[in-house]
């Protein structure tokens, strides 16, 4: 019996594993980098061990330090979570060689599936259908052989761009995974990403635990997942189950894993096998009523699945998961940093997170804040429940993708299950273009005015309206209000009530409530985030036309080959790349002209707003 587990991970998945271990009566140990010293996963475990440094290569990717931490802390097993070392066969062997229990598949199974190119060859021998590239297969997808999460992936629609995209993909894959091998496969327009959850024991039993659809993706990373995958025929579902079981048996798989397919119509092709727990595993747990982490632990202890149940559990209802990211979808999905002041969701949905109120969101790791999961008897009910929960959630801090998620879940193409992996390519502008609540700046101003009114805001003599300025979604709003005998009045709207944290306005005979929270210059009014502006703009806050400013804090990883001051550049030409929160972000020329200044140097860390370069357009 396992008595103590070290979780070789961080953030949301580490907290989630700790939660199950506590329910099973198992002691927990976590590891933390210096950047994560006060992170939630370091606080909730029974013990935690420091990994000196901040970069993943120095910390969460150091197999030797993690095994030593487990031994020093008295753990007898290691759970790798997902990402980092979870699919590293050398790490699995090191855990076993140290006499510890590895809560995962055998190293040989991980190794067989670790490279997508080797995995495809192996599955071809098992007669699983594969995509094959021909000269006429444009567009194609360039993919990293050793990793996932959208890194090292490029869609190429023009043959002339293939060589440059191969070079870029190799560089990103090498940086992210330490392996620059890439391969090319056909890119299927309108394809769906469908996967099968499997669970296998060491006694020869393999359970297929339903399908999941993960087609809503940005930058080849999943955003919304659901179980079961909607719209599949029973014949196709049975075929996917059979192929997933065959793939597991081909490598003598043990534990939880996922076999991924590209589905087009009634045809499915093998993509890859993830030899670990998936980020989206909660939707399967909700539908089948199981705890996959608990089952992983029992399988690692040698338990036979048939000893738990004679048959695989049966699916009940529908579950949908949305990944909440600290990012700005309207501006190239730029990751955001800062303090997460508050994160709460209504009762009735599941929240998996690695953050607590007041925690900082840094630059070193993935920008995912949480996963919100809704389960209901039908897909339509689960959709409605999840969209409403996200809409009513309190998310105070940096910009997030919350509004995008709500609009995605209510989009006709998604509600009718006609989505595919190109959903955001088609609909992103419409999904990010909605205006914020027009009464939010007024509510913010009235709440601020209430605080001052306690010190004598009303005067017997008539006075000019007070003015406050706010920035909302890049636009400036000026609000006028007055203190009168009747209380606060504002812009023809009846103020029913105004306190420092609650404003009630009557608009066209309907009373509306606005909850107001302040954190320095940042004001949250219901779902709208505002920034209080000084009454008079700072005349020194100015950059020359054509200035390229860092859209996020990060590290300059590359500058375009041969680029130097004085070079002629074209509008949209890639100039440099920033790495932030595990993703590379391309910075392009804002106009055709001359590069008059280049301040970006590979390896240099920059803050948001830092001047990277200047491109001067012809007069």
> What's CA 340's distance to the chain center, in Å?
15
- Domain 440-533, CATH 3.30.700.40 — does that match? yes
Integer Cα distance of 550 and 221 in angstroms: 23
Q: Are 368 and 321 in contact (CB under 8 A)?
A: no
Task: Give the pLDDT of residue 116.
Answer: 67
To the question of domain 132-186 being in CATH 2.30.30.240, the answer is: no
Q: Distance between CA 371 and CA 325 in Å, rounded?
A: 9
CATH 2.40.50.100 at 547-616, yes or no: yes
| Angle ∠(279,284,288) on CA atoms, nearest 5 | 155
- pLDDT given at position 451: 60
Residue with tokens 């993703």: 583
**Going by C-beta distance under 8 Å and a sequence separation of 6 or more, which residues neighbour residue 64?**
94
Beta bridge partners of 484: 487
Mean pLDDT of residues grouped by 10 in the chain (619 residues)? 97 98 98 97 98 94 97 98 94 98 97 78 70 68 68 76 80 70 74 96 96 93 97 96 94 96 91 94 98 98 88 94 96 91 97 97 92 98 98 96 97 96 94 86 89 48 75 84 75 88 93 95 94 69 76 86 92 88 80 92 84 89
Is 276 an active-site residue? yes
Contacts of 43 (CB under 8 A, 6+ apart): 356
Q: Phi/psi of residue 305, each to 5°?
A: -60, -35
CB atoms within 10 A of CB 271: 23
Tokens standing for residue 477: 């709003």
- pTM of this prediction? 0.85
Please name the fold of domain 192-432: D-amino Acid Aminotransferase; Chain A, domain 1 (3.30.470)
Question: Where exactly are the structural domains of the chain?
Answer: 4-103, 132-186, 192-432, 440-533, 547-616
CA gap 487, 506 in Å, rounded: 14
C-alpha dihedral over 19, 302, 112, 218, to 10 degrees?
Answer: -20
CA distance 344 to 347: 9
Give the gyration radius of the chain's Cα atoms.
26
Q: What is the token pair recorded at 537? A: 């703009």
> How far apart are alpha carbons 586 and 276 in whole angstroms?
30
Q: Decide: helix, strand or coil at residue 523.
A: strand
Give the CA distances from residue 529 to residues 345, 362, 394, in Å, rounded to whole numbers and listed in that order.
17, 20, 11
349-354-355 Cα angle (round to 5): 90
CATH domain 4-103 topology? Rossmann fold (3.40.50)
Of 24, 158, 140, 14, the C-alpha closest to 86 is 14
- Which one from 276, 298, 469, 558 is the annotated catalytic residue? 276
């Amino acid at each position: 019996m396992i008595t103590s587990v070290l979780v070789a991970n961080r953030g949301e998945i580490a907290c989630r594993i700790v939660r199950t271990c506590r329910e099973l009566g198992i002691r927990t140990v976590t590891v933390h980098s210096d950047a994560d010293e006060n992170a939630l996963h370091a606080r909730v475990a029974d013990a935690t061990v420091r990994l000196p440094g901040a970069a993943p290569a120095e910390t969460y990717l150091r197999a030797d330090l993690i095994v030593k931490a487990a031994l020093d802390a008295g753990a007898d097993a290691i759970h790798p979570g997902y990402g980092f070392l979870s699919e590293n066969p050398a790490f699995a062997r090191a855990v076993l060689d140290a006499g510890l229990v590895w809560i995962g598949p055998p190293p040989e199974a991980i190794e067989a599936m670790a490279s997508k190119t080797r995995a495809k060859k192996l599955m071809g021998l098992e007669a699983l259908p594969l995509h094959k590239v021909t000269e006429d297969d444009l567009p194609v997808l360039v993919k990293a052989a050793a990793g996932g999460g959208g890194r090292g992936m490029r869609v190429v629609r023009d043959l002339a761009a293939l060589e440059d995209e191969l070079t870029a993909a190799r560089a990103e894959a090498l940086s992210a995974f330490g392996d620059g091998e890439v391969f090319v496969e056909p890119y299927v327009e309108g394809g769906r990403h469908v996967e099968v959850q499997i669970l296998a024991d060491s006694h020869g039993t393999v359970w297929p635990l339903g399908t999941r659809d993960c087609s809503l993706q940005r930058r080849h990373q999943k955003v919304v997942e659901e179980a079961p995958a909607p719209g599949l025929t029973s014949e196709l579902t049975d075929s996917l189950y059979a192929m997933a079981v065959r793939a597991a048996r081909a490598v003598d798989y043990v534990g939880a894993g996922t076999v991924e397919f590209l589905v087009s119509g009634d045809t499915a092709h093998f993509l890859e096998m993830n030899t670990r727990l998936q980020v989206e595993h909660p939707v399967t747990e909700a539908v089948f009523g199981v705890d996959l982490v608990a089952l992983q632990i029992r399988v690692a202890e040698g338990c036979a699945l048939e000893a738990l149940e004679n048959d695989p559990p049966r699916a009940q209802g529908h579950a949908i998961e949305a990944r909440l990211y600290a990012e700005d979808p309207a501006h190239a999905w730029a990751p955001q940093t800062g303090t997460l002041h508050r994160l709460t969701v209504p009762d009735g949905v599941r929240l998996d997170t690695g953050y607590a109120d007041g925690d900082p969101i840094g630059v070193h790791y993935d920008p995912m804040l949480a996963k919100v999961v809704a389960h209901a008897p039908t897909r339509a009910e689960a959709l409605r429940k999840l969209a409403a929960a996200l809409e009513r959630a309190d998310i105070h801090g940096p910009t997030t993708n919350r509004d995008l998620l709500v609009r995605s879940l209510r989009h006709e193409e998604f509600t009718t299950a006609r989505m595919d992996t190109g959903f955001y390519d088609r609909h992103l502008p419409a999904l990010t273009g909605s205006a914020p609540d027009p009464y939010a700046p007024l509510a913010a101003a009235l709440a601020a005015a209430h605080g001052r009114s306690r010190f004598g805001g009303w005067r017997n003599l008539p006075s000019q309206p007070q003015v406050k300025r706010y920035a909302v979604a890049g636009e400036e709003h000026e609000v006028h209000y007055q203190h009168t005998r009747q209380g606060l009045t504002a812009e023809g709207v009846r103020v029913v009530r105004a306190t420092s944290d609650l404003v009630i306005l009557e608009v066209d005979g309907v009373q509306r409530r606005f909850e107001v929270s302040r954190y320095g210059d940042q004001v949250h009014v219901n779902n709208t985030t505002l920034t209080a502006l000084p009454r008079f703009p700072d005349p020194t806050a100015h950059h020359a036309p054509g200035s390229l400013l860092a859209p996020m804090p990060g590290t300059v990883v590359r500058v375009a080959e041969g680029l130097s001051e004085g070079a002629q550049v074209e509008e949209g030409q890639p100039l440099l790349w920033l790495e932030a929160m595990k993703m590379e972000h391309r910075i392009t020329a804002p106009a055709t002209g001359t590069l008059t200044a280049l301040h970006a140097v590979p390896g240099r860390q920059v803050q948001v707003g830092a001047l990277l370069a200047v491109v001067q357009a012809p007069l």
